[in-house]
Structure 1
Amino acid sequence: MPPKIHPLRNGARLLGAAVAALVAILLAYGAAGMVGGAIPSNPGWTQPETGVRIYIESNGIHTGIVVPMVGGGEDWRDLLRAEDLRDPRYARYSHVSIGWGERTFYLETPTWADVKPLTILGAAMGSDRTVMHVDHVPEPRVNADDEGDIRSVILRPEEYRRLAAFIRASFRTDNGQRPGHQFGYASYDAFYEARGRYSAVRTCNAWTGDALRHAGVRVGAWTPFPVTVLGWFE
């Protein structure tokens, strides 16, 4: 007669196998992301000496694109208005930082300290509840202390127009109406309804890479992590 397997021991084995499988999936995802981020798109692009200066920034989780509120033939004040902020005075700043992402993930994880495994898992499974996050900010200053978090990039006028068109198309402006919005983390930012589906493949950082790629900038073929975006710029 075969020996009986204790239910607790059998459950522990199954749990161990599940954890091992999850770790393997995460490692494979991380490796694939780093490889995708290392493959260049628009490989012939070079940064011009003059043009429209934008910035790519990261808080360690989310990346955003910082653009002048008015400049390069683009005026964002028709879309990003002072009354969308808790304190409209911040709309006087010269620049806006714009990012895209999953609604719950964005609203609940402003920093690494706020990250919850279930929030990440839910977003990675796929969600149509996406938002644009907009900060009204002064023009960033890039120095040695900021090197890991922000990059300055100069675009040709036609490249900036393509970038702006991509960003605008990400806002949900159905029937010509402005997107729904709500106040953000602080007095100077806001969230807006967005288009697009978030998943483990198309993350907030992948959106940043898509926007730069659409503009014609040299960037990774797939950029799911902040480092796969920032790593292309000095």
Structure 2
Amino acid sequence: MRWILWCAAAVFGLVASYAVAGLIGGSIASNRAWRAPAEGVHIFVESNGVHTGIVVPKIAAGVDWRTIARAADLSDPRYAGYDHLSIGWGEKTFYLETPTWADVKLRTVAAAATGSTRTLMHVDHVPLPSARDDVREIVVTPQQYRRLSAYMTASFRANGAHYAGYGPYDAFYDANGRYSAIHTCNSWTGDALRYAGVRVGAWTPFPVTVMTWF
């Protein structure tokens, strides 16, 4: 019994330390001097409570996403008529089995946290979103947008496969990168924004560590 209690306390301490470290890392600003321009490309950051993603226009500032997110990849190509994409990165099993908090399973979280190279890009074809609690609008310069797009594009595995999504409007694609407790789907969102030059947390492992900046 004492051994069980010791193990439980150790696990609790590890989880608590991770949570505290993540919140601290998310509160430390990178790109402190960044200010949104008066005019530029309008993008959005969104969260479903588990995953965060970045919503971008299909065509803007010389970037055309239609060669990557193809209409033919959707089970219903008519949804490709929408003019924006919501793009996120994550671990394959975690993505496919945990679209919401209600679907989270301890074994899935534990397996992903220990590290996995089985990663996917998730792409939704969506209309222009409206800013709300789970969707935040950001304005970036054309140059910042091109940097952001370059980072996001590099996350797609060249010549990788694509898979059916949750519905007729989305699809998954093989991705580059290794998922872990340190580099989560939300860390990817923060990394992409940071690479573009946007002010965001130094380490953003949780949805709140991304969304609180906007």
Q: Which category describes the TM-score, using the shorter chain as reference length?
A: over 0.9
The residue number in structure 1 matching 2:26 is: 37
Counterparts of 1:151 and 1:33, CA distance in 2: 21
In the alignment, the residues of structure 1 paired with residue 162 and residue 20 of structure 2 have an alpha-carbon distance, to the nearest angstrom, of 36
TM-score, with length taken from structure 2: 0.99
How far has the Cα of 1:74 moved from its partner?
A: 0.8
* SS of structure 2 residue aligned to 1:43: coil
Equivalents in 2 of 1:35, 1:86: separation in Å? 42
Q: 1:171 aligns with which of 141, 152, 156?
A: 156
Mapped to 2, the partners of 1:106 and 1:14 lie a distance apart of 35
Residue equivalent to 1:216: 197
Letter in 2 for 1:21: A
The answer to whether 1:151 aligns with 2:136 is yes
**Which amino acid is 1:115 matched to?**
V
User: How far apart, in 1, do the equivalents of 2:12 and 2:148 lie?
Assistant: 37
Q: C-alpha offsets along residues 164-184 of structure 1, whole Å, 9 cap, x if unaligned?
A: 0000000001xxx3x310110
Q: Over the residues paired in the alignment, what is the CA RMSD in angstroms? A: 0.6
Match of 2:10 in 1: 21
Which amino acid in the other structure matches residue 104 of structure 2? V
Identity within the alignment, %: 60
CA distance in 2: counterparts of 1:150 and 1:23, whole angstroms: 32
TM-score of the pair, normalised by structure 1: 0.90
Q: Are 2:145 and 1:160 aligned? A: yes
Match of 2:39 in 1: 50
Separation in 1 of the partners of 2:204 and 2:66?
29
Unaligned runs of 5+ in 1: 1-11
Distance 1:68 1:197 in 2: 27
Q: Give the number of the structure whose alpha-carbon radius of gyration is greater.
A: 1
Please name the residue that 2:56 is paired with. 67
2:206 to 205, 220, 225: 225
Aligned counterpart for 1:106 among listed residues 92, 95, 104? 95
Tell me what 1:202 maps to. Answer: 183
| Alpha-carbon distance between aligned partners in 1 of 2:7 and 2:39, rounded to the nearest angstrom | 54
Q: C-alpha deviations, 1:51-79, integer Å up to 9, x for none?
A: 00000000000000000011221110111
Q: What is the rounded CA distance, in whole Å, between the counterparts of 2:168 and 2:2 in structure 1?
A: 50
In the alignment, does 2:125 pair up with 1:136? yes
* Aligned equivalents of 2:57, 2:36: Cα separation in 1: 18
Q: Which AA in structure 1 matches 2:135? A: I
> How many pairs align?
214
Amino acid at match of 1:78: T
What is the rounded CA distance, in whole Å, between the counterparts of 2:163 and 2:149 in structure 1?
22
